[in-house]
Amino acid sequence: MAILVIAEHNNETLGASTLSTLAAAAKIGGDVHVLVAGSNSQAVAEAASACSSVSKVLHAEHADLAHPTAESLAAIVVANAEGYSHILASASTFGKNFTPRVGAKLDVQPISDIVSVESEDTFKRPIYAGNAIATVQSSDSVKVITVRGTAFDAVEASGGSAEIAAIDAAAHIFDKSKFESQELTKSERPELTAAKVIISGGRGMGSGENFQMIEEIADKLGAAVGASRAAVDAGFVPNDYQVGQTGKIVAPELYIAVGISGAIQHLAGMKDSKVIVAINKDEEAPIFQIADYGLVADLFKVLPELKDAL
Amino acid sequence: MKILVTVKRVVDYNVKVRVKDDNSGVETANVKMSMNPFCEIAVEEAVRLKEKGVATEIVVASIGPAQSQETLRTALALGADRAILVKTEENVEPLGVAKLLKEVIGKESPELVIMGKQSIDGDNNQSGQMLAALLDWPQGTFASEVNIADGKAAVTREVDGGLETVALNLPAVVTTDLRLNEPRFASLPNIMKAKRKPLEETTPADLGVDIAARTTTLKVEAPAQRQAGIKVETVAELVEKLKNEAKVI
């Protein structure tokens, strides 16, 4: 039994989410192979081969894979799927985009966003915005799975020296869709899903300028900045800051929610954080029902004080 | 251009769901149901494309029990032209959904299919991608902007680091993210009119699709409950607790 993990990367470095996916693969057990599809992505293939739990790296190079489309990537995975009992990718926008396509092509029902491995065919996953946890068993011959990164501790990225085998990609490039452009949010701060500390603002922040106060505290804590959907929809911050069912799922050591009421959709994205702090002037806000430390106060008064106290 | 939009009837997003005592699932009897929010956005986008003169006809489809008719009527009241219900009492997995929709599309031949990116009950985020795969069509998932011109769709997608734009040859499948648009409300006259719009019923057997489940749900549990902690009075006290009690900063 062998497991194929599809690497998420930017053609230079292996994504942290891939290391968590490898941890889930290790829990299932068996040989773990990694597929790296990219352009000028030799460094990524080497990084994957250096992971201690990896026994082989399949490396597909093609100019059109600089930003692989789901269509091309799924076709490459399907063409190389023979002999694998499990195909895994992270439950990021990258993994969510192509894995269902792989499932449909292989005529199997994929399992999304697993949070635990019970056995080689049984997994737990949240449903209803994390308000219920389902234990599901798959009867398919190949299990196609996406893995929630925050539920698995990353594997060691060193100590291995797996063989790197080149595989052909040219025959699988899908010509009816094409990557055009991207517009990435630039930030000096840690990536939201990997940060140890996150400070998030909600509608209560009032404006985009006021997020400056949150950013200053984030800089002092080495924290990432997040937001509720209300803050994103109001245009205070870009949408990739959004934490929740429809945004990013995070589980940092410390999550500080400022001016966020705590709607179920938001809680779905952060309630597995180790310590939750809520700062809100409404003492009835649902966020206080899950916060370890709550401070009922006006955030405009508290945030400057908090900045000075750190 | 004909557009096919899919809608799903789910537990209303404001409902705090309760896990059944026998752990077989989530209580759905006597719970408020409504159209999946991502599907509402899909309907709205199709209606806007029609208003812009890009689309000529909007067909809305749903798979589910007889009550899904209400969800389809809602879509008709919002501006869809006619509806198709694939009636089944079974809980259909995304693979089955994709196979059923493929048959519907074979009969209807739309040039664009718009679906929600995920249903808020199953949280799978799969059906659109699986349908595109079965049809061998391109896909534009998690769309926050869709522009149709010259037989192509330019779709701006919400990805983890920001935004990405892909160009798709039509026919294609697009799945909606929340920021694609702000859905309208149905007016009373439109709700009345929707009652007279055509609604056709079919079944998985009529379509010749096997929807037998590939996964078994062994158990559904409530997640571990977090208890409310303590309230602090001042910022100094908060910082002291985080440093010395929780030891997280």
Is B21 touching A (CB cutoff 8 A)?
no
Is A289 touching B (CB cutoff 8 A)?
yes
Average pLDDT of chain A, as a whole number = 96
Secondary element (H or E) of residue A33: strand A31-38
Report, as an integer, the average pLDDT of A200-210.
Answer: 97
Contact A133 B220 (CB under 8 A): yes
Say if B104 falls within a structural domain: yes
Q: How confident is the model at residue B161 (pLDDT cuts 50, 70, 90)?
A: confident
CA distances from B36 to A173, A265, B12, B195 (A): 34, 14, 8, 21
* Three-state secondary-structure class, residue A32: strand
> Are residues A260 and A219 in contact, defined by beta-carbon separation less than 8 angstroms?
no
Return the pLDDT at B249.
79
Give the residue from B130, B157, B154 showing the smallest Cα distance to B143.
B157
Asked whether residue A258 carries a pLDDT value surpassing 90, the answer given is yes
pLDDT in tens, A39-87: 999 999 999 999 999 999 999 999 999 999 999 999 999 999 999 999 9
Residue percentage of chain A with pLDDT more than 70? 100
Q: Which amino acid is at A245?
A: Q
Say if B230 falls within a structural domain: no
Residue percentage of chain B with pLDDT more than 70? 100
Contact B168 A176 (CB under 8 A): yes
A228 labelled ligand-binding:
yes
- Closest-CA residue in chain B for A104? B130
**What's the domain range around B54?**
2-223
Report, as an integer, the average pLDDT of B13-32.
Answer: 94
Asked whether residue A34 carries a pLDDT value surpassing 90, the answer given is yes
Say if B233 falls within a structural domain: no
CA–CA separation, B236 vs B242, rounded Å? 10
Residue partners of B76: CB distance under 8 A and separation at least 6 = B60, B82, B83, B194, B197, B199
Residue partners of B174: CB distance under 8 A and separation at least 6 = B45, B112, B113, B114, B115, B128, B139, B140, B141, B143, B146, B153, B155, B168
The reply to whether the predicted model has a pTM over 0.90 is yes
A246 labelled ligand-binding:
yes
Return the pLDDT at A187.
83
Q: How confident is the model at residue A185 (pLDDT cuts 50, 70, 90)?
A: confident
Return the pLDDT at B100.
98
CATH code (residue B145): 3.40.50.620
Say if B232 falls within a structural domain: no
Report, as an integer, the average pLDDT of B10-23.
Answer: 94
pLDDT in tens, B26-51: 999 999 999 999 999 999 999 999 99
Say if B245 falls within a structural domain: no
Name chain A contacts of B238, Cβ cutoff 8 Å.
277, 293, 295, 306
Say if B228 falls within a structural domain: no
Contact B141 A70 (CB under 8 A): yes
What domains appear along chain A, each with residue ranges and CATH number? 2-172 (3.40.50.620), 192-309 (3.40.50.1220)
Say if B23 falls within a structural domain: yes
Reported ipTM: 0.94
Return the pLDDT at B248.
81
Count how many domains chain B has.
1
Asked whether residue B227 carries a pLDDT value surpassing 90, the answer given is no
* Three-state secondary-structure class, residue B217: strand
Asked whether residue A274 carries a pLDDT value surpassing 90, the answer given is yes
**Helix/strand/coil percent split, chain A, to 5:** 30, 30, 35
- Give the number of residues written for chain B: 249
Q: In what order do the strands lie in the sheet with A56-61?
A: A111-114, A143-147, A84-90, A2-6, A31-38, A56-61, A163-167
